[in-house]
Copies of this chain bind each other. A is one copy, B any other.
């Protein structure tokens, strides 16, 4: 599997890694390797030869210096919650887990920033800062288990991205270890900084292929005092998508605007044993608004509801009790897992200009019908970001393998033709790299290869990801 240019680990290597991290933090047992060989991407598993779990940036430097000299492939890993296979050690070698670098180093309430290590669980930071009246907005569905380092590597989004932006909008500074073991720092507690190239931003979304981030300075914002949800079931998914466009055209800015097909909602109901209002509808809009003035918020929520009704919503339900809202969000966040439990599936992370969402909904349904596949679609419609889950259900392996690639290729070609992109927030990783030439041309890919070479001339860091395989 590893191309001939990579070394394979031997006992000397294991001894060296144990002397860097401590023997307890170097794993080589098969069950451990299997765990670290998988993430949340489909049912893939590529076990590494060894797992190292450093606790300090100095240890990360020593590991990288050693692996660089030995040309050993290194795959960095956060919580392994990724959906594009970014953390899969596809060339075996070393899995470098950041899970022990899990400290919130500082919450600076004067400057509204937090300084964290990469292994901090996203929700943990959110709860700590919320207790101080602040908010860290990016909220991927996996926020209860994913880590901030992984969020940075993938430029994670989530529902609130609509109003608050994605991870890149919150990264003010980084410390990172380069493949050669050098440690760099860029930025800090600064809202403006143009001192040299923005080395922090080039790392955001680079999927662990350029450097290993060992410390992050994140922007925080004041926590809004109030929030409120609006749920609108529609008998026609396209009309739900159209209603959303009208909401934005009315200059209303919900803090989240999720589109959920009925089938997605019913999967979540079955999974969690809870009911969603009018779950027999073709599709739902799940909207949240937030702000500091309750009256203003109620007025905006009513305006949102009126637009939904005018566009054909069956009904509009408002929720402002914490418990009820938490229930709705739990079901929304659990959809991915719920759909996964129904069938083998392949998830595509399409994104288009927001106003073209109704068209995307129609295209997905049309492609699936023509390729005789079934799909469950849901996602962050306010960003034009729809997760299309194509399900195997009772297809034979042969039918699945024959129909799937053509359907995905057609979907991505249509998305790109609409001015969209093939990944909004999950990344390219291992499972989408073959489709990259649909999204980017030879000049863009050559430039990306040049950037990769500037950081990682030997190509040891997270090899086999993002870039389409070269023609043989």
Residues of A within 8 A of B (CB): 108-113, 133, 154-155, 157, 161-162, 165-166, 168-169, 178, 182-199, 201-202, 204-206, 210, 222, 245, 248-249, 251, 253, 292-293, 296, 351-355, 380, 383-385, 419-428, 436, 439-441, 443-448, 450-451, 453-455, 466
Contacts and interface: CB of A to CB of B under 8 A. Distances in A.
Contacts of A192: 155, 157, 161, 166, 351, 380, 383-385, 424-425
A190 B466 contact: no
A253 B292 CA distance: 12
Number of this chain's copies in the assembly equals 2
Contact of A296 (B185, B195, B296, B384): B296
Q: Which 6 A-B pairs have the closest CB atoms?
A: A450-B454, A110-B355, A189-B353, A192-B424, A182-B443, A222-B251
B198 A204 contact: yes
Contacts of A113: 353
A223 to B, nearest CB: 8
B448 A455 contact: no
13 contacts: A111-B355, A157-B192, A182-B443, A184-B441, A190-B353, A190-B424, A191-B383, A192-B384, A194-B205, A196-B440, A197-B448, A197-B451, A450-B455
A322 B168 CA distance: 35
A169 B165 contact: yes
A411 B414 CA distance: 55
Nearest to A153: B194
A152 to B, nearest CB: 11
A440 B200 CA distance: 13
B188 A197 contact: no
A161 B155 CA distance: 22
B448 A199 contact: yes
A243 B434 CA distance: 55
B201 A201 contact: yes
Contacts of A448: 196-197, 199
A194 B428 contact: yes
A459 to B, nearest CB: 14
Contacts of A427: 194
A193 B111 contact: no
Nearest to A452: B197
B443 A184 contact: yes
Count chain B CB atoms within 10 A of each CB in A108, A222, A293, A353 and give the residue with the most. A353
A175 to B, nearest CB: 11
Count chain B CB atoms within 10 A of each CB in A157, A351, A447 and give the residue with the most. A447
Given A293-B296, A451-B454, A423 B194 contact: yes
Given A110-B353, A188-B419, A447-B454, 5 more contacts: A161-B191, A168-B198, A190-B353, A191-B383, A194-B425
A408 to B, nearest CB: 14
A424 B193 contact: yes
Contacts of A451: 197, 202, 451, 454
B195 A447 contact: no
Given A165-B169, A454-B453, A444 B194 contact: no
Contacts of A439: 195-196
A440 B293 CA distance: 44
A436 to B, nearest CB: 7
A139 to B, nearest CB: 13
Contacts of A161: 191-192
A183 B446 CA distance: 12
A296 B299 CA distance: 14
